[in-house]
């Protein structure tokens, strides 16, 4: 047990802890303003159910034309139909994390970029940028099937 919790990562965690203490360890102000639980939430984030309304408010779309407006509505409807587990997986797919951003889901800043057309293609994502590369599909059913297929096949970075 001692090895598992203390020695296994000692080489990596030692310099991290030293640096952390140098930056915030001596701050009396920080200790009076922030509890340990609050500091954990600031550093790690919290896991709250995805708020699609908040995400949609700040989302941007790239490469879509005026004629694609209906299709984008269909995309939002499909994501809104996801259950909690599917929403969780969607968040991991586009961001590699299930944690709520520090300022809440409005700070998620999802980008939905058009990525060609074709029912055989799968959506892809650039997680560092919360960028969803979404092909245009022929129907809502194909859109939902491909999106679910993509989000169920992802692993994220395993940092949650």
Give the global pTM. 0.76
Q: What is 35-73 written as a DSSP string? A: -HHHHHHHHH-B-----HHHHHHH-EEES--GGGHHHHH
Q: What are the tens digits of pLDDT across the range 88-131?
A: 999 999 998 888 887 889 999 999 999 999 999 999 999 999 99
What pLDDT score was predicted for residue 110?
97
Q: What is the pLDDT of residue 159?
A: 47
Q: Could you give the count of Cα atoms lying within 13 Å of 118 in the half-sphere of its Cβ?
A: 7
State the catalytic residues: 128
Higher pLDDT, 96 or 141: 141
CB contact set of 94 (below 8 Å; sequence gap of 6+)? 110, 125, 127, 130, 131, 132
Q: What average pLDDT score do residues 49-59 get?
A: 94
CA distances from 20 to 24, 31, 63, 73 (A): 6, 14, 42, 45
8/29: higher pLDDT? 8
pLDDT at 41 over 60: yes
Tokens standing for 47? 């896991």
Q: What is the DSSP string of 80-108?
A: HT--HHHHHHHHHHHHS--SBPTT-GGG-
């Amino acid at each position: 047990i001692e090895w598992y919790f203390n020695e296994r990562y000692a080489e990596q965690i030692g310099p991290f802890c030293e640096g952390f203490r140098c930056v915030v360890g001596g701050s009396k102000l920080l200790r009076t303003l922030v509890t340990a639980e609050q500091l954990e939430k600031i550093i790690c984030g919290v896991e709250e159910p995805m708020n699609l309304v908040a995400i949609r408010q700040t989302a941007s779309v790239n490469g879509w034309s005026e004629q694609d407006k209906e299709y984008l509505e269909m995309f939002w409807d499909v994501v809104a139909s996801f259950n909690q587990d599917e929403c969780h997986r969607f968040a991991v797919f586009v961001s590699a994390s299930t944690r709520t951003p520090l300022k809440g889901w409005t700070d998620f800043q999802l980008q939905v970029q058009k990525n060609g057309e074709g029912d055989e293609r799968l959506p892809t994502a650039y997680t560092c940028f919360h960028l969803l590369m979404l092909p245009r599909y022929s129907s809502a059913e194909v859109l939902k099937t491909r999106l679910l297929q993509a989000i169920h096949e992802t692993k994220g970075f395993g940092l949650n």
